Amino acid sequence: MISLPSDTIAAIATPPGSGGIAVIRVSGRAAIEVGDRVFRRAGSVASPLSGALSHTVHYGQIVFDGVPIDDVLVTVFRAPRTFTMEDTVEINCHGGVRVTGMVLDAVLASGARLAAPGEFTQRAFLNGRMDLAQAEAVADLIRARTRRAVAAARDQLAGGLSKKIERISSELMRVLAHLEAHIDFPEEDIQPEIGGAMCVRLEAAERELVALLQTAGEGRILRQGLRIVIFGRPNSGKSSLLNRLLDHDRAIVSAVPGTTRDTLEEAVELRGLPVVLVDTAGLRETSDALEAEGIRRSRAALDAAELVVLVIDGSRELDSDDLRLLAESGDEPRVVVLNKSDLSIRAVLPTGIEPVPVSCLSGDGIEALKNAVETAIGTVRNGESVSGIAINARHADALRRGAAGIRGAITALSGGAAPDLVAVDLRIAVTAVGEVCGRTTTEDLLDLIFSEFCLGK
């Protein structure tokens, strides 16, 4: 049984560093009492915060040991109409590093303790403000780097995933209840038609789990970004292409082959998806030790790539190196770029390869290349389009175990196994699916999940 929190916590809720303002958040049973100990209202009437209405803002000073620290605005939120569903006080002070630390120190010395990372959101979960999937969406929303990532996090925060899990979980529970009835009354065997109906219901639940599992790749891309490696022969225009896609000069461009000696990575938003573009050293045979090391690193980057962009100099005929690179990357998700389309095209690609003509000099073809990359990313995602649901790795692990439990129950039912044996697999499925929203979880798991949040959230 996970115990509900009873103490009062505080932390700086704004990012570290200097700024116009900073926010210190205090939450717990004694939050308003702690606020009264450090806050002095401006004006002749020094009424305490304990008499303030909920959702009201008050101007005054933070004072500790009789010494004023800063002029502040203090907002009072009374339970349960708060993020944590506890009494909450938020202190808006000036955003200097030193003054913010002094205000926090005064709060901690007045009865609060420093919050652990993610503890405010953890309390929101424990107090019933949101389920675990919604709590994780808070972190996703904070970390989101693209519009699509924001949209997916917002949908999960609004309960999009939770509603699907609730529907699946409820159906599994209903089937399990029927099985439990047969266990309690063993003289009532499961008739074939009853077992068949149960199998149909379980297969429908399994299909829903599989559909959610198919969004795991989408979720990973939205949260971590997709690694796209740009490679090709020296002087084919790889660095120029990187600069065009970034829309600023990041890589050194030179007419001298072999200028790039190391991999160069940059994060960028492409068609609403976060990607990490990796520029690599040109791939060719060389006796230069430094260039050879760059080529080794390029090979390592290619091995870790989820999508490759092969750049070919279209102004010259293909040679053995071009053909070798085309053959080597033929089994990988890739886009082939025919660069220098502003010049006379002499390169003739093998039949079946549709390149994207691009001029890194003029920018012609860059939008077509982005379209081709977006299509290729869809291939990496097994054709899945961006949806409101994009599960994370923890969800995927739980749902895989849930699907395996359902499949075991279906196999047992179909084979005429005893109800108690079928129920074992089904209980495994119910427990695993329940982990997604926190219905079945442990305190250690919660600590692990919320430890990845930022401090003050």
- pLDDT, residue 294, reads 67
CATH of 9-131, one of 3.40.50.2300, 3.30.1360.120, 3.20.20.190, 3.10.20.30: 3.30.1360.120
Q: At what angle do helices 192-213 and 160-184 cross, to 10 degrees?
A: 160
| Strand intervals (E) in 296-376 | 307-313, 334-339, 356-357
Query: Does domain 146-215+390-438 fall into CATH 1.20.120.430?
Result: yes
| Contacts of 411 by beta carbon, 8 Å cutoff, 6+ apart | none
Which of 29, 35, 15, 11 minimizes the C-alpha distance to 104?
11
pLDDT over 70 at 257, yes or no? no
- pLDDT, residue 83, reads 95
Region 149-176 average pLDDT: 90
Tokens 């309690």, residue located: 184
Domain map (residue ranges) of the chain = 9-131, 146-215+390-438, 224-380
- Residue 454 buriedness (CB in 10 A; 0-12 / 13-18 / 19+): middle
Tell me the per-residue pLDDT of 314-331, one tens digit each, with 9 for 90 and over.
888 888 888 888 888 877
* Cis peptide leading into residue 257 (ω within 30°): no
Using the Cα atoms of residue 169, residue 175, residue 176 and residue 181 in order, give the sign of their dihedral. positive
- pLDDT, residue 395, reads 92
Tell me the per-residue pLDDT of 364-419, one tens digit each, with 9 for 90 and over.
989 998 888 888 877 555 444 444 577 888 999 999 999 999 999 999 888 888 88
Region 440-453 average pLDDT: 75
Using the Cα atoms of residue 382, residue 387, residue 389 and residue 392 in order, give the sign of their dihedral. positive
CB 113 within 8 A of CB 9: yes
- pLDDT, residue 379, reads 57
Higher per-residue confidence, 357 vs 252: 357
Tell me the per-residue pLDDT of 275-284, one tens digit each, with 9 for 90 and over.
888 887 766 5
For 204-218, b/e burial (b = at least 16 CB within 10 A) is: ebbebbeebbbbbbb
Tell me the per-residue pLDDT of 102-118, one tens digit each, with 9 for 90 and over.
999 999 999 999 999 99
Higher per-residue confidence, 238 vs 192: 238
pLDDT over 90 at 168, yes or no? yes
Six-digit token pair at 291? Answer: 């260039």
DSSP codes joined into one string, 87-99: -EEEEEEEE-HHH
Whole-angstrom Cα Rg for the chain = 29
67, amino acid identity: V
Cα–Cα distance, 402 to 235 (Å, whole number): 51
Q: How many CB atoms lie within 10 A of CB 35?
A: 29
Q: Residue 341: which region, alpha, beta or left (left: phi > 0; alpha: psi -120 to 50)?
A: alpha
Of the listed ranges 64-68, 298-302, 348-352, 421-425, the least confidently predicted one is 298-302
456: confidence class by pLDDT, cuts 50, 70, 90: confident
Higher per-residue confidence, 380 vs 98: 98
- pLDDT, residue 192, reads 54
Higher per-residue confidence, 197 vs 39: 39
- pLDDT, residue 384, reads 44
- Residue 135 buriedness (CB in 10 A; 0-12 / 13-18 / 19+): buried
Tell me the per-residue pLDDT of 281-318, one tens digit each, with 9 for 90 and over.
766 565 556 656 766 677 777 777 788 888 888 888 88
- pLDDT, residue 341, reads 87
- pLDDT, residue 100, reads 95
Q: Could you tell me the fold of the domain covering 224-380? A: Rossmann fold (3.40.50)
- Residue 155 buriedness (CB in 10 A; 0-12 / 13-18 / 19+): middle
447: confidence class by pLDDT, cuts 50, 70, 90: confident
